[in-house]
Amino acid sequence: MKIGRVYANFQEDFYYTEHYLAKELYKENHETVFITSDKYLASWKKYLKTQDPAGFKVREFYSVHRLKAWNPNEKVIYKNPLKLWKLLFNNDFNILHLNAVGSFSTITILWMVLLKGKKAPKVFINDHTDTRTHSKEGRFANLYYLFFKINLLFLKNKIKKVITFSEIGPKILSKRFGLPTTIFSIIPLGYDQDNYFYDENIKNSEDKMVIGYAGKIEPSKRIDFLIKELDKLEIRENIKLIIAGIREDDYCDNLKEIAANSSFEIEFMPFLTTKELNNFYNYIDIAIFPGGISITTIETSACGTPVIIYESISNLEERVDNGRGELFKTDFELKECVHSYYELYKINSIANFSISEYTIQNYSWNLIKNKYLKIFKKYYNERKS
């Protein structure tokens, strides 16, 4: 199969679900071609080493067409619709795999598919915006969702499947955009088993329990809250906090100032590479995610490290079940979780191996890709017949 993956703000410095799926499909002799823009989300620009201009590039597991676009956010509108049309329909794609229902790019492409008629590839959409953190509110939000709902009255029959990662996704997205629940499939997020794995030789050898956080450092991640709450613990002299992802900005400067006035050990590290992240997750004893989350929680579990996650969105239980971690909502619950793991740490009873094994069996991309292939092949074979 040849899959056109339209992802408006595809960045290549740091790998996420779209990269991993392309890699696994490549192993099965399926080709992925990304069609994206020359714009990057502002939140990513702070971390990227490279920002490619418009043009075409061939990578190891996929190729990338970058088109000029008007707008540097997920509602990208491409400047050259004729070029977009040619890329979509002159490349012999069997599948068009889009990103997010509520995107102007998605609506644009669905109208093109409608105009193309029966010869157009089958359309699938990944949509992970089923969380409170990605919801708009207020009068503008109602108009925003109404725009998409009206368009989808004419376009929803062109969507074969909407793939989301949690049980609550179909309910929210169906209500928000007027889509029938029958077109939804739930496939969990995964991690790259080639890059994240348990290594008992890297475990912490310090005389303190090491707590870690790695990822974007911005106010929504609430790292300041984490430092302040850990500083209230009775066991604070027996813990160390390592924060990876520090850069030069006001928020990070504020964190350093808070840390300087804290009474326990804190270490700051820069943004880490994939290999460094694997070593980091193996080294620390527990990881805490006090704000918004991403697939980093799954990557941490793959390395056998338990996670303590702020319940910022619904249906996070699947990230911590089977002994892989704990959820918290209040500062008191956070401190209780840390105390519980400290007791396990003292008697060397954190179940690192079983955490890693469960994650391998349920979240590795070499297994999850089969769920995508099952859906893709069903409609691919229908189209051939």
Is 97 contained in some domain? yes
Q: Are residues 332 and 213 in the same domain?
A: yes
pLDDT value of residue 38:
87
- Mean pLDDT for the stretch of residues 214-243: 95
Is 195 contained in some domain? no
Q: Are residues 351 and 237 in the same domain?
A: yes
Does residue 9 have a pLDDT over 90?
A: no
Q: Are residues 64 and 174 in the same domain?
A: yes
Q: Are residues 176 and 275 in the same domain?
A: no
Q: Which residues contact 244 (CB under 8 A, 6 or more apart)?
A: 212, 213, 214, 215, 268, 269, 270, 271, 272, 277, 280
Is 237 contained in some domain? yes
The C-alpha atoms of residue 278 and residue 274 are separated, in whole angstroms, by 6
Q: How many structural domains are present in the chain?
A: 2
- Mean pLDDT for the stretch of residues 146-165: 93
Block residue for tokens 């704990």 = 326
Q: Are residues 368 and 354 in the same domain?
A: no
Q: Are residues 106 and 244 in the same domain?
A: no
Q: Are residues 267 and 154 in the same domain?
A: no
Q: Are residues 337 and 374 in the same domain?
A: no
Q: Are residues 147 and 268 in the same domain?
A: no
Provide the domain limits for residue 30.
2-190+364-384
pLDDT band with cut points at 50, 70 and 90 for residue 385: low
Does residue 375 have a pLDDT over 80?
A: yes
Is 264 contained in some domain? yes
Does residue 176 have a pLDDT over 90?
A: no
Is 270 contained in some domain? yes
- What are the backbone dihedrals phi and psi of residue 32, each rounded to the nearest 5 degrees, phi first? -115, 130
**Which pair of tokens denotes residue 238?**
């027996």
pLDDT band with cut points at 50, 70 and 90 for residue 73: low
Q: List, edge to edge, every strand of the sheet that includes 307-310.
A: 265-269, 239-244, 209-214, 286-289, 307-310, 325-328
Q: Are residues 170 and 37 in the same domain?
A: yes
Q: Are residues 326 and 223 in the same domain?
A: yes
pLDDT value of residue 228:
97
Convert the pLDDT of each residue in 41-61 to its tens digit.
666 666 666 677 889 999 999
Does residue 384 have a pLDDT over 70?
A: no
Q: Are residues 79 and 226 in the same domain?
A: no
Selected residue with higher pLDDT from 1 and 134: 1
Is 336 contained in some domain? yes
Cβ–Cβ under 8 Å, residues 48 and 13 = yes
CATH number for position 296: 3.40.50.2000
DSSP H helices in the chain: 17-27, 42-45, 81-89, 104-116, 139-155, 169-177, 223-230, 250-260, 274-283, 296-302, 317-320, 331-346, 352-363, 365-384
